[in-house]
């Protein structure tokens, strides 16, 4: 028996039978098969961050040459923005996969109703969909990292850890996104999600350092999940590691755990009651 099988067997003994059946990988496999015909979506997801970087490199970066880095010392503006764009790309990919796509499967295709009639439980559904969102985000992260390295925007070997960091960002946002989408009743309500994501993208230190805000607003920004994702990415990209990055890491782990718990409960409530 392999280690994975042993762990799955342990979970099957601990969790209620209707909750988890150890078949989350089947949802990931299904998503991979469905996405074969939509390979252009993957290409678009990997290309978008590159276009952002190119625009800052040849456009806005010519106007703003340097900003204060994580340690307060000046750094290239494009190198400052690049880790934030990676964090944002991981967030957007995870949220899109776990909200728009999941909403269609849940409300219109009734895919999960059919799945739960088989030996698959709500936790399998949550883990499978989140696992696919993380996989997709990981592909984007590798492509982005290669482009950023080719453009000379990474200054440390610690930057290689930006890929697993992007997977963690994908976990946190996809889990929370899945939990939130179970409360939506129509596609018009997706505007509420954009109402949250767009201001967070603009103000979570994506384009300028935290020090530009008044003290009171700095504490508000520190509460944003994207801020913690960006801080973690910037520290790894520059090799300027600090104790604060442990807080960023813990924040994202707790957010992912909370989202997984909430999404499992909501799916079980909607489809098993």
Query: What does the pLDDT read at residue 59?
Result: 66
| pLDDT by position in tens, the chain (length 273) | 455 445 544 444 444 445 656 677 788 778 778 777 766 766 666 677 777 777 777 666 666 667 777 767 777 888 888 888 888 888 888 888 778 878 888 787 777 777 777 777 777 888 888 888 888 878 878 888 888 888 777 777 888 888 899 899 988 998 898 888 888 888 788 888 888 888 999 898 888 888 888 988 999 999 999 999 999 999 898 887 888 889 999 999 999 999 888 888 888 787 766
Residue 43 and residue 37: Cα distance in Å, rounded?
Answer: 12
Residue 271 and residue 29: Cα distance in Å, rounded?
Answer: 22
Token pair listed for 230: 């960006």
Site of tokens 């939506």: 184
Query: What does the pLDDT read at residue 255?
Result: 93
DSSP string of the chain, one letter each residue: --HHHHHHHHHHHHS-TTT--S-HHHHHHHHHHHHGGGHHHHHHHHHHHHHHHHHHHHTGGGT--EEE-TTSSEEEHHHHHHHHHHHHHHHHHHHHHHTHHHHIIIIIS-HHHHHTTSS--HHHHHHHHHHHHHHHHHHHHHHHHHHHHHTT---SGGGGGHHHHHHHHHHHHHHHHHHHHTT--SGGGHHHHHHHHHHHHHHSSSSS-GGGS-HHHHHHHHT-HHHHHHHHHHHHHHT---THHHHHHHHHHHHHHHHHHHHHHHHHHHHH-
Cβ-based neighbours of 212, under 8 Å, separated by 6 or more: none
**How many residues appear in the chain?**
273
66 pairs with which residues across the strands?
76
Cβ 53 vs Cβ 89: under 8 Å: no
Query: What does the pLDDT read at residue 212?
Result: 86
Name the nearest CA neighbour of 203 among 192, 214, 189, 191.
214
Query: What does the pLDDT read at residue 155?
Result: 76
Token pair listed for 46: 């990997």
Query: What does the pLDDT read at residue 20?
Result: 59
Residue 235 and residue 155: Cα distance in Å, rounded?
Answer: 11
């Amino acid at each position: 028996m392999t280690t994975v099988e042993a762990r799955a067997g342990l979970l099957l003994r601990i969790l209620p039978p209707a909750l988890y059946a150890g078949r989350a990988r089947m949802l990931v496999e299904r998503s991979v098969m469905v996405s074969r015909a939509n390979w252009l979506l993957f290409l678009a997801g990997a290309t978008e961050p590159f276009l952002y970087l190119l625009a800052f490199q040849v456009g806005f970066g010519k106007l703003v040459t340097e900003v204060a880095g994580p340690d307060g010392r000046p750094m290239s503006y494009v190198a400052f923005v690049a880790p934030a764009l990676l964090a944002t790309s991981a967030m957007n990919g995870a949220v899109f996969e776990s909200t728009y796509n999941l909403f269609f499967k849940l409300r219109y295709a009734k895919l999960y109703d059919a799945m739960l009639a088989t030996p698959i439980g709500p936790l399998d559904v949550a883990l499978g969909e989140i696992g696919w969102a993380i996989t997709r985000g990981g592909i984007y992260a590798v492509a982005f990292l290669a482009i950023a390295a080719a453009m000379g925007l990474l200054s440390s070997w610690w930057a290689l850890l930006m890929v697993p960091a992007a997977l963690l960002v994908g976990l946190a946002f996809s889990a929370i996104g899945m939990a939130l989408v179970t409360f939506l009743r129509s596609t018009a309500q997706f505007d509420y999600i954009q109402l949250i994501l767009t201001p967070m993208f603009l103000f979570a230190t994506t384009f300028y350092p935290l020090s530009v805000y008044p003290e009171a607003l700095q504490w508000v920004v520190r509460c944003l999940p994207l801020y913690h994702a960006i801080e973690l990415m910037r520290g790894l990209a520059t090799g300027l590691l600090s104790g604060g990055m442990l807080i960023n890491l813990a924040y994202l782990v707790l957010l992912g755990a909370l989202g997984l718990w909430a999404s499992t409960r909501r799916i079980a409530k909607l489809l098993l009651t």
